[in-house]
A and B are shown apart, each in its own frame.
Chain A
Amino acid sequence: MSLFRHHPTRLVRLVPLLLVFIVAGCYPDHPQSTFDSTGPVAQSQLNLFYWIFWAAVFVFVTVQSALLYICLKFRRKPGDPDPEQTHGHNKLEIIWTVLPVILLAIVAVPTVLTIFDNANSPDPDGMHVNVVAHQWWWEFNYPGEDVKTSNELHIPVDEVVNVSLETKDVIHSFWIPKIAGKVDMVPGNSNKMWIKGEEIGIFHGQCAEFCGESHANMRFQVIVESRADFDAWVASEREPAVIPVEPLAKAGLDLFEGDAQCWSCHKVEGSSRSRGTKGPNLTHLSGRQYLGAGIVENSQTNLRNWLTSPNDLKPGNIMYRDAAVYNDPDKALSDSDISALVAYLRSLK
């Protein structure tokens, strides 16, 4: 059934614009607005929302105006006698039981249709991404493409992507407001959803289920790109990391795979040492636009800040909590260590 998958007509689109304006206040950019959908799942959810919204507006206006009318009309005036002590009115009571039933049926039918619509992937054999949530970052695995990455999801435009959702620790929820409503990631219980981006661009997602101290900082980006760009990205992701030649970066590599013990938590493809899985895969870190699960731009300064004191950018994060370089003063990184590590990480293109 595709009752709710068409794009709405002009008129229906105008009103949303108005709403967006109200909701938006005066700011231009709303990266997580549910009113500006760019995928069929979010679109069907939005259309359903409007359908119910208008039904609700209708009820709101009629009932509230009736209430207001009653309040104004039947105010007590001095000297008014007791009103007639009526106890009820059968016909009226039946009407106001049946009317809501009809109204609800109008809402219920498209609801059920959309639920089933969105539950089943239109192309179950299409591309597949396996998302694994961790406190407080994301792992994206592409079994078909043999790509493993973190915190930045690339998908080809106009293609159905089947997503399976898992978590390594507590409950999280995977949500890209402009592309699809959320589905939770429950331990021991893998969930499925499908998404499709219909517009090229960067879209923002966020964990929607409270998952602990840095729940607010568990975000990610979805990069919807042309098939050609996507293929190019896959090709570059599959390359192992290049071993740096520049001396500072080389020193960084040594630290990374040595005393700083970064290797114990992070994977860098091509390195025989860095095979850790407690933290994000860093093979192509510098190809990403954001750092720390989508919270700050991936710049030299931010990377430096991140390595200097991860807890300032992201309170409670597991790296700060568990890495020896942060919780053992004897092993703390010096400024030059950090410069070396930054140089190395920046070389991971």
Chain B
Amino acid sequence: MISLTIPIPKRPTHPTGIWNWLTTIDHKRIGILYGVTAFILFLTGGIEALYMRAQLATPEAEIVSPEVFNQLFTMHGTTMIFLAIMPMGTAFFNYIIPLQIGARDVAFPRLNAFSYWTFLAGAIMLKSSWFLGGAPNAGWFGYAPITGVPYNPGHGIDFWILSLQILGIASLAAAFNFVVTIINMRAPGMSLMRMPLFTWMTFVTSLLLILAFPVITVALIELMFDRFYGANFFVPAAGASPLLWQHLFWIFGHPEVYILILPAMGIISEIIPTFSKKPLFGYPVVVLSGVVIAFMGWMVWSHHMFTVGLGPVANSVFALTTMAIAVPTGVKIFSWMGTMWRGSIHFSTAMLFSVGFVALFIIGGLSGVMHSSAASDAQQQDTYFIVAHLHYVLFGGSIMALLAAVYYWFPKITGRLMSESIGKINFWLTFIAMNLTFFPMHFTGLDGMPRRIYTYGTEMGWDLWNAVASMGAFLLAASILVFMHNVVRSYRKGEISGSDPWDGRTLEWSISSPPPEYNFAEIPVVETRDPFWAQKRDSVATARVGGGSGEGEHDIHMPQPSYWPLVVSIGLLIGGYGLIYNVAVAVVGGAIALIAVYAWSFEPVNEPEEH
């Protein structure tokens, strides 16, 4: 054995200010970092959308050039999916899951910090392409061969490939972390079928992610080899089939759709029972339908390829499997309605957003069934009808649910309530503007407007509804401003919420708001579903949940902060830029990451402090 001792600095003790945030491994702080970062990125994606809606508001407008328009829709899609909705979900996974399962942190706290910093690295990489010679311009699903060097000589696509790879690393690390956390760290007594629905859906989403991301990783590596080293994976002239890309992309891409929507469904399944004062109707069936959706999500990818010429047999099979997914989705919707039935419904803002989710998701679901019919989809594929559908699912679905989640868990995170009156304005404005923006797209789509066109002639008859959609988009932006105002205002001077403002049902409401660093002074013992509700209503006398006296506090050893996750991510970021501009830099980046991983592994732990 070679004995090689490299001195590794000790872990930071009680860092303050910025260092506190840079080295934190507390799941709550990481959750906040995720949330704030993802929201800022959501705003950038929104601005990209507004540029497009301004360009399309009138026929033959010249607000942006066609090339910039192509970059805008590519960046908008990629941003909203990978940099906004996914990490906003992760923000809540981070903050809420350990609290819901009665844990003190996630299974791998440093890996968790690494996920965040790597996500940030990927985001910086992608977004910086705007300032480094042009953003990617081939759409968020980047079909070959238009992503090939002959059609796309600039660096935009390179940024797209590498940032998605970096984001993939972040997502995978987070997903493994949550799977292990949920399997291993549940409080005693919390069997799988006692887990809150949000935890369940996080679990299912993480598994989906672990299975789906490797597929796009492979596809991206192949594309990278094509572009960087002259390989021929997707070069038709060399005999490759560009359909390979489509298959790989959508085998990832369809499960990805569920990665975006299942957490939302989990959120809704927490909020609706709380504000109806009833347990979730048909809990086992709702869990099962989530699992079934995730499973069936692997059997439908070719519905994105109905027009590529797979033949009538393949099209029929994928039409049928796609329709079948409507069944478990319907079950979920009916179960939410069953929960509200005979409930005692309080329409807080969180509840309004949740019910709004249900109403809008029904529309998105129905238009989904419409284009699952491959034959009639030939008229809808690649038109604004699809754009309408996907925004009903992703805005009406995911974003509405995430807004609901903010209103719901804000008091837990900050200790203050958000303003309900501003909240109501926020909800109605969002709800109306969202329909104003996206509903007319059904019309323009059926009226023959293809997606991804930067201009159209007035003779096409699309002026009116495009104008309406654009007005809606700016109204939607206003509603987001109202939301931001409410968050900032409530953070500063919102009403103090106490630990359980909503008469909650799950464990996170049993501890103080904001929760102490160690979450639970005493790990709760769970004997039923909705344990906190049961304890409050005294129906289960023996349930021992709830904030401790603080007695045990001194004996709780929390994992210590660390510099290294951040350093590894910096290494990856440098490596990414290096691959594009200069291999030597890439080697430096790789070396930094490797050294940091080494230091991470052997980082000494500080002695527990004396009190």
Q: Which residues of A contact B (CB under 8 A)?
A: 22-35, 42, 44-46, 48-49, 52-53, 56, 59-60, 63-64, 66-67, 70-71, 74-76, 80-89, 92-93, 96-97, 100-101, 104, 107-108, 111-112, 114-120, 135, 169-171, 173, 175, 177, 180-184, 186-189, 191-192, 204, 206-217, 315-316
| B309→A45 contact, CB < 8 A | no
Which residues on B sit within 8 Å (CB–CB) of A31? Answer: 448, 459-461
Which residues on A sit within 8 Å (CB–CB) of B451? Answer: 210
- The residue on A at minimum CB distance from B324 is A104
| A100→B447 contact, CB < 8 A | no
How far apart are the CA atoms of A74 and B351 in the complex, in Å? 13
Contacting A at CB under 8 A, from B367-404, are 367, 369-370, 372-379, 381-383
Which residues on B sit within 8 Å (CB–CB) of A86? Answer: 278-279, 281, 342
| B243→A189 contact, CB < 8 A | yes
Known: A22-B443, A63-B333, A115-B316. A32 touches B449 (CB 8 A): yes
Contacting residue for B373 out of A23, A111, A177, CB 8 A: A111
Which residues on B sit within 8 Å (CB–CB) of A180? Answer: 378
How far apart are the CA atoms of A315 and B454 in the complex, in Å? 11
| A206→B358 contact, CB < 8 A | no
How far apart are the CA atoms of A170 and B152 in the complex, in Å? 11
Contacting residue for A93 out of B240, B285, B343, B461, CB 8 A: B285
| A70→B341 contact, CB < 8 A | yes
- The residue on A at minimum CB distance from B65 is A315
| B242→A187 contact, CB < 8 A | yes
| B236→A215 contact, CB < 8 A | no
Which listed segment binds A: B44-52, B143-151, B207-215, B506-514?
B143-151
- The residue on A at minimum CB distance from B351 is A71
Tell me whether B497 is interfacial, beta carbon within 8 Å: no
| B461→A88 contact, CB < 8 A | no
Which residues on B sit within 8 Å (CB–CB) of A119? Answer: 311-312
23 contacts between A and B (CB under 8 A): A23-B465, A24-B461, A45-B375, A48-B376, A53-B370, A67-B362, A70-B337, A71-B347, A81-B344, A83-B343, A86-B342, A88-B338, A107-B369, A111-B375, A111-B376, A115-B315, A115-B374, A135-B151, A169-B151, A173-B382, A182-B379, A183-B309, A188-B236
| A315→B241 contact, CB < 8 A | no
Which residues on B sit within 8 Å (CB–CB) of A120? Answer: 312
Which residues on A sit within 8 Å (CB–CB) of B241? Answer: 186, 188-189
Which residues on A sit within 8 Å (CB–CB) of B327? Answer: 97, 100-101, 104
| A96→B330 contact, CB < 8 A | yes
Which residues on B sit within 8 Å (CB–CB) of A192? Answer: 309
Tell me whether B331 is interfacial, beta carbon within 8 Å: yes
| B151→A96 contact, CB < 8 A | no
The DSSP consensus for interface residues of chain A is mixed
| B370→A56 contact, CB < 8 A | yes
Closest CB in chain A relative to B450 CB, distance in Å: 5
Tell me whether B277 is interfacial, beta carbon within 8 Å: yes
Which residues on A sit within 8 Å (CB–CB) of B362? Answer: 59-60, 63-64, 67
Which residues on A sit within 8 Å (CB–CB) of B587? Answer: none
| B236→A87 contact, CB < 8 A | no
Closest CB in chain A relative to B247 CB, distance in Å: 12
Closest CB in chain A relative to B123 CB, distance in Å: 24
How far apart are the CA atoms of A44 and B379 in the complex, in Å? 11
| A34→B446 contact, CB < 8 A | yes
| B446→A33 contact, CB < 8 A | yes
- The residue on B at minimum CB distance from A170 is B146
Known: A64-B362, A86-B342, A210-B452. A189 touches B151 (CB 8 A): no
How far apart are the CA atoms of A61 and B412 in the complex, in Å? 37
Query: In the complex, which of the residues B285, B362, B375, B449 has the most CB atoms of chain A within 10 Å of its own CB atom?
Result: B375
Known: A115-B312, A186-B308. A45 touches B370 (CB 8 A): no
Tell me whether B474 is interfacial, beta carbon within 8 Å: no
| B151→A212 contact, CB < 8 A | yes
Tell me whether B419 is interfacial, beta carbon within 8 Å: no
| B459→A45 contact, CB < 8 A | no
How far apart are the CA atoms of A187 and B146 in the complex, in Å? 11
| B146→A210 contact, CB < 8 A | yes
Contacting A at CB under 8 A, from B238-279, are 239-243, 276-279
- The residue on B at minimum CB distance from A60 is B366
Known: A71-B355, A171-B143. A316 touches B375 (CB 8 A): no
Known: A104-B327, A215-B452. A34 touches B337 (CB 8 A): no
Which residues on A sit within 8 Å (CB–CB) of B337? Answer: 63, 66-67, 70
